[in-house]
Amino acid sequence: METASSRLQQLLAFYQDDPNDPFTIYALATEYRPTDPQKALGFYQKLLDEHPDYVGTYYHAGKLLEQLEKPEEAEKVYRLGLQVSRRAGQLHAASELQGALNKVLGLDYEDD
């Protein structure tokens, strides 16, 4: 069974070989998220800056910003992600982003 540290070492090796591969950057952000949220955020930011069409980034970067108590930044990321995912025709991602945006805006009330 692969340990988290060996997986991280493997990802870092991939990253060293190709620091522009969005999947590796995304995987590193995901790997760091539970243990080093600031480092994870740095990788998400790299994706947002250098790979703005990588739709999967927006939801997870926004959630991490919420976790770090930065709701205004999360809102911006969700709104941008909505535009990108709709343009890409990724409607499932757009739907998830809309839900996350509604929640951060306090619009996710339940129907009684």
* Residues 4-24 pLDDT 10s: 789 999 999 999 999 999 999
**109 to 6, 28, 106: CA distances (angstroms):** 42, 34, 7
Separation in Å, CA 52 to CA 4, 10, 90, 104 = 28, 25, 14, 22
Instruction: Please tell me the distance from the alpha carbon of residue 18 to that of residue 36, in angstroms, as a whole number.
Output: 22
Task: Work out the pLDDT band at 1, boundaries 50, 70, 90.
Answer: low
Query: What pLDDT score does 110 carry?
Result: 63
When pLDDT is cut at 50, 70 and 90, the band that residue 66 belongs to is very high
What pTM does this model have? 0.89
Q: pLDDT-based confidence at 108, cuts 50/70/90? A: confident
Q: What percentage of the chain carries pLDDT values higher than 70?
A: 95
Cβ atoms of 32 and 43 within 8 Å: the answer is yes
Pairwise CA distance, residues 69 & 63, whole Å: 10
Opening angle at CA 47, ends 58 and 81, nearest 5: 25
Q: Which CATH architecture has domain 40-107?
A: Alpha Horseshoe (1.25)
Average pLDDT over every residue of 69-95? 97
